[in-house]
Amino acid sequence: MRNPSSGPRRIPAPRRVRSWAIRHRRFLAAASLAAAASLAVYQLTPEPAERTAVVAASADLPAGATLERTQLTTVQLPPSAVPAGSYRDLTALLGRRLATPLRRGQALNDTSLTGPGLLAGTPPGTTAVPLRMADPSSLRILSPGQLIDVVFSPEPGPEAARDPEDQEPRLLARRVAVLWIGQGEKGSGSWLGAEESPGLVVVGATPSQSRALAGVQRQGRLSFVLVR
């Protein structure tokens, strides 16, 4: 005799889920592959970002090089990576001279070139002072940014025997920064207007140092000492 309290046999929920998954396994596999492919495409697709075109060196360039068309190119940089004072117009730089060496792909800015930009970032009141060293070959060991002490050696005069102390070398300026170095090329059109620049170096000096350096070159010889 059938028990009236007994109804249809209930299948546990885990078994029902497993049975449904088995019946629809192909659909589930395809959906999983599609989701994985979509995630991969999302991760590999770069986020759109604004870019700015700036002028850069197309090859490694030494300090003192006169810029030509083949030495320059344009690169696209995010706005946050664009150096201050960068250039957008390539033709405006042709014939200008580099104050610092550049690596290939490095963007140019106003401090890269000889001219007023050499004083960018220097303390207020700093002046650019051109000096002609007695030994032009000594400039080969210099590079922009180095610190030097400038030494003055008076030329021997008729009163040398009477005042020997006046003929002793003396320190004119301490720890002045080298801004630009002459290359000794004739007709180079340097920003100083000189037709040739052997032994010429430009330093950043304070007002008091500038006064000490002014006019002494006709009275004797200048040399320098590298400092840390």
* Structure tokens that stand for 139 in this block: 């400039």
Where residue 185 falls (left for φ over 0; alpha for ψ -120 to 50; beta otherwise) is beta
- Residues 6 or more apart whose Cβ sits within 8 Å of residue 119: 126, 127, 128, 179, 204
pLDDT of residue 21: 53
Domain ranges in the chain are 52-113, 117-227
In terms of Cα–Cα distance, which of 103, 183, 99 is closest to 140?
A: 183
Structural element, H or E, at residue 16: helix 13-23
pLDDT of residue 13: 58
- Residues 6 or more apart whose Cβ sits within 8 Å of residue 214: 129
How far apart, in whole angstroms, are the C-alpha atoms of residue 72 and residue 58? 5
* Structure tokens that stand for 35 in this block: 């989701």
pLDDT of residue 151: 93
Provide the strand spans (E) within 38-169: 52-57, 72-77, 127-132, 147-154
CATH number of 52-113: 3.90.1210.10
**pLDDT tens digit string along 38-51?**
666 655 555 557 88
How far apart, in whole angstroms, are the C-alpha atoms of residue 96 and residue 114? 8
Residue 204 in 3-state DSSP?
strand
**pLDDT tens digit string along 115-149?**
777 777 778 888 888 898 988 888 888 888 889 99
Q: Which residues of the chain have pLDDT under 50?
A: 160-161, 184-196
- Residues 6 or more apart whose Cβ sits within 8 Å of residue 140: none
